[in-house]
Structure 1
Amino acid sequence: MDKIFITGIAGFIGFHLAKKLHKLGFYVSGCDNFNPYYDPALKHQRAAYLHKLNILVLNCDLNDKEIIDLHLKTSNISHFVHLAAQAGIRHSITHPESYMHSNLSGFFQVLEVIRKNPNLKLIYASSSSVYGKRAETPFCETAPTDQPSSFYGATKKCNEVMAESYHKLYGLHCTALRFFTVYGPWGRPDMAYFSFTKAILENQPIPVFGEGKLMRDFTYIDDIIDGIIASLQKSNGCNDIFNLGHHKPYSISELISYLEALLEKKAIMEFLPTPPGDVPITYANVSKSKSVLNFDPKVDLKEGLSYFIKWYQKQYS
């Protein structure tokens, strides 16, 4: 039986991946540093849920590699899924140092761990942010990614370049997954769909950038998890990159309209200029992912938001 180690296991995607893998019968463990970018209480709730499933959650930073090394040596891990990172495009403008620590130094430590354990297969989270504003839509994996629009995107592009060099130098098994605007229950409170829901219910204004015309390829968490698991099963000696997106972008205005309909309440909107680092659109070409991973996203935005709101109302009732 494959044994999977997940960094960022108490994060949004890591939590859902751990649950699904456990359900499928895999041995799952992971680590998280519970950083305060958003309320750590939600991360601790996720971790508590995983503890009930007897899933080990190590409380450590990626740069505490001795702890991770020891666990890997004693647990016979076969796959290393790296999801831990400092997230947030706008946050990277004001706090770039945290991205250097987590996304660059942290990823270097991950590569070093894999180098010392050459039988491990590495699957790691990249981002649609690597495409910036230059790529033609829909974004294809072969599109230019040398001009990301944010420092967050730059760190994710750097991860891909670092992985490529380690693959060529040391023969590492690496697979990069470019996620497109993942949403759903247990999600990140800083994401628009989450913060908008909270604001609408509390009669607070929501910031609407770019007149609500910005478009995002919202991808439901269950579809993302299916893509990750498929990449675990398909991972081989190559260094490969896959888009994981719904391949149907929606405008922020459409997102707000769906939330208003589902919550049966109108939003108070505050229109603001588009912040630095934001791009007009993200839009995934998933032809390669469909062909190689049999990736087939099924949940459209309105359906996915309905699942999120049911969870939200139960969680914060």
Structure 2
Amino acid sequence: MKRALVTGSAGFIGYHLSKLLLERGWQVTGLDVFSDYYDVGLKRRRHEMLAGSAFAEVEASVATPGLVRDLMADERPDAVIHLAAQAGVRHSIDAPREYVEANLLGSYEVLEAARATTPSHLLLASTSSVYGASTEMPYRETMKVDTQMSFYAATKKANEAMAHSYAHLYGIPTTMFRFFTVYGPWGRPDMAPFKFVRAVLANEPIDVYNHGRMLRDFTYVSDLVQGIADLIDVPPGSEPVSERDSLSPVAPHRIVNIGNGETIELGRFIEAIEAATGKTARRNLMDMQPGDVSATWADTGLLTDLLGHPLPRTSVEDGMRSFVDWYRAEYDGAAAIP
């Protein structure tokens, strides 16, 4: 039985990835600190859904010195998927130290652990936010990305550079994946899909930034985690797979976009919520927020080259219908909203 260590396993993406790996017959060790950045009860319910003989829970901070190294020495995982991080663009403006501790020190501990006990493949989460002020779209992994717009994005760009140096120095096969706007059941309460559905069901207005002139590459979570799980079997080697490959010339290190591969207008996304809830959204049009960008769009050609097939592309209409169904079951409509 293959073994995986998933950091941030009680998080939105970590939960769905751990669930998929368990379904594929993996033994999964899930490491999570259960931070109070958002509802800890939601995180614990996610972990409860993973409970079983093939899942081992470790409650601790990934940034604890030596903890991940010792855990990997004991578990000897075939793959390490590092998802633990302090998320949120806007929160990084108010609490940047949290991002230093979780994203920089936490990733350092994972890299040090991988240096001591080299897994077959080390995979680390980055973000589409690293593309920053770039206006050339769709975003390609080989583009120069030096204009991050938030401290959150800056820490993730730093993670990419840190991982590259360790891959070069110690020969660790490493893939960094850049996520785009991920949504779906068990999603984060601080993200727009959750906030919008909560407000619409409660007959409250929704805050629509940049007066609705926003484009996002909305990615349904089950599509995303399939991409991560499939990439485990494609560690970087010494030769590029195509002319689109972002493989480093000096390290077994690659950056891969995982997105839906199209842009969706925010208005269409809100309409999908209206259709799923049967309610009309009251829009509170607002200016752009600091650190935000008006559009994102993933070029997913490299991902297709690596996997040999494109990922599923769940429509926002189907995806939001599933999210609203889950939300209503979890929170009993608007009666028990956190």
TM-score range, shorter chain: over 0.9
The structural deviation recorded for 1:236 is 3.6
The structural deviation recorded for 1:74 is 2.1
Match for residue 282 of structure 2 among 268, 273, 277: 268
Tell me the amino acid that sits aligned with residue 303 of structure 1: D
Match for residue 241 of structure 1 among 252, 255, 274: 255
Tell me the amino acid that sits aligned with residue 290 of structure 1: T
Distance in structure 1 (CA, Å) of the matches to 2:330 and 2:303? 34
| Residue correspondence of structure 1 range 97-136 to structure 2 within 5 A | 97-136=97-136
Counterpart check, 1:277 vs 2:287: no
Counterpart check, 1:306 vs 2:321: yes
The answer as to whether partners of 1:135 and 1:143 remain within 8 angstroms in 2 is no
The answer as to whether partners of 2:220 and 2:314 remain within 8 angstroms in 1 is yes
Superposition TM-score, scaled by structure 2 size: 0.91
Q: Percent identity?
A: 40
The answer as to whether partners of 1:230 and 1:295 remain within 8 angstroms in 2 is no
The structural deviation recorded for 1:57 is 1.3
How far does the alpha carbon of each residue in 1:236-290 deviate from its partner, in whole angstroms, 9 at most, with x for none?
4420010000011112221111111211111122111101111010000001111
The answer as to whether partners of 1:245 and 1:297 remain within 8 angstroms in 2 is no
How far does the alpha carbon of each residue in 1:39-60 deviate from its partner, in whole angstroms, 9 at most, with x for none?
1110010111112465111000
Counterpart check, 1:81 vs 2:96: no
Distance in structure 1 (CA, Å) of the matches to 2:321 and 2:29? 30
Question: Residue 122 of structure 1: SS of its match in structure 2?
Answer: strand
Distance in structure 1 (CA, Å) of the matches to 2:267 and 2:103? 31
**2:15 paired residue number:** 15
Distance in structure 1 (CA, Å) of the matches to 2:214 and 2:125? 23
Distance of aligned partners of 1:65 and 1:23 in 2 relative to their CA distance in 1, 3 Å threshold: farther
Distance in structure 2 (CA, Å) of the matches to 1:42 and 1:157? 29
How far does the alpha carbon of each residue in 1:16-48 deviate from its partner, in whole angstroms, 9 at most, with x for none?
111111111111112000111111110010111
**1:171 paired residue number:** 171
Counterpart check, 1:290 vs 2:301: no
How far does the alpha carbon of each residue in 1:157-182 deviate from its partner, in whole angstroms, 9 at most, with x for none?
11101111111111111100001111
The answer as to whether partners of 1:135 and 1:144 remain within 8 angstroms in 2 is no
Match for residue 254 of structure 1 among 260, 268, 271: 268
The structural deviation recorded for 1:67 is 3.3
Structure with greater helix share of residues: 1
Structure 2 stretches lacking a partner, 5+ long? 238-251, 333-338
The answer as to whether partners of 2:137 and 2:297 remain within 8 angstroms in 1 is yes
The answer as to whether partners of 2:66 and 2:109 remain within 8 angstroms in 1 is no
**1:142 paired residue number:** 142
Deviates more, 1:290-299 or 1:18-27: 290-299
Tell me the amino acid that sits aligned with residue 183 of structure 2: Y
Distance of aligned partners of 1:53 and 1:182 in 2 relative to their CA distance in 1, 3 Å threshold: farther
The answer as to whether partners of 1:174 and 1:240 remain within 8 angstroms in 2 is yes
The structural deviation recorded for 1:120 is 4.4
The answer as to whether partners of 2:66 and 2:113 remain within 8 angstroms in 1 is no
Distance in structure 1 (CA, Å) of the matches to 2:83 and 2:51? 19
The answer as to whether partners of 1:247 and 1:286 remain within 8 angstroms in 2 is yes
Give the count of matched residue pairs: 317
Structure 1 stretches lacking a partner, 5+ long? none
Q: Which runs of 4+ in 1 moved over 4 A?
A: none
Distance in structure 1 (CA, Å) of the matches to 2:53 and 2:270? 36
**1:225 paired residue number:** 225
Question: Residue 51 of structure 2: SS of its match in structure 1?
Answer: helix
Alignment RMSD (CA, Å)? 1.3
Question: Residue 144 of structure 2: SS of its match in structure 1?
Answer: coil
Distance of aligned partners of 1:304 and 1:53 in 2 relative to their CA distance in 1, 3 Å threshold: farther
